[in-house]
Amino acid sequence: MSGKLRVNDSDSWVDSDSQLHGGQEMRLTDVDLSDSTVTPVGMQHFSNLKHLKRLDLSGNSYLTDDSIARLVDSPLQVLNVSNTPLTDKCVSSLTSMSALQELDVRETKLSVNARSRLQAALPKCQVHIS
């Protein structure tokens, strides 16, 4: 299994595929795909995750501004997109994520102006910009 998953707000990460087939309802709450390869095609699957609270896509060189738009309707509380090629074009999508409590955009291609707009538009969100 590549990356890490947490289900049902568990304190521990799933460490084998067999844990995902335990017979109980599984609600995917945390996904860590840092330093992974998630393509725009793969990002479309995140729009169906209605219980996803935390998503780490840091270090993903394939992440695009359009990919972020697929997350707008998600209940994400924590999003890490640091060290990715995101640009100012993703700001409108990020500011539409009203449940965000923490956002990491360090080491992206976002301009100083875009970072300021994020902080202003998400006053209840801790935005990591430098």
63-85 confidence digits (pLDDT tens): 999 999 999 988 999 999 999 99
What pLDDT, on the 0 to 100 scale, is given for residue 42?
87
Query: Which residues, in sequence order, are CB contacts of 90 under 8 Å at separation 6+?
Result: 65, 68, 69, 110
What strands, in cross-sheet order, belong to the sheet with 28-32?
A: 4-7, 28-32, 54-56, 78-80, 102-104, 126-128
The C-alpha angle 35, 2, 77, rounded to 5 degrees, equals 65
What pLDDT, on the 0 to 100 scale, is given for residue 14?
62
What pLDDT, on the 0 to 100 scale, is given for residue 115?
94
* DSSP state, residue 16: S
Stated pTM of the model: 0.85
In contact, 88 and 69? CB cutoff 8 Å:
no
What pLDDT, on the 0 to 100 scale, is given for residue 48?
81
The domains found in the chain, sorted by start residue, are 4-128 (3.80.10.10)
Beta bridge partners of 103: 79, 127
From CA 80, how far away is CA 19, in angstroms rounded? Answer: 25
What pLDDT, on the 0 to 100 scale, is given for residue 127?
96
Residues of the chain with pLDDT under 50: 1, 16-21, 23
What pLDDT, on the 0 to 100 scale, is given for residue 15?
57
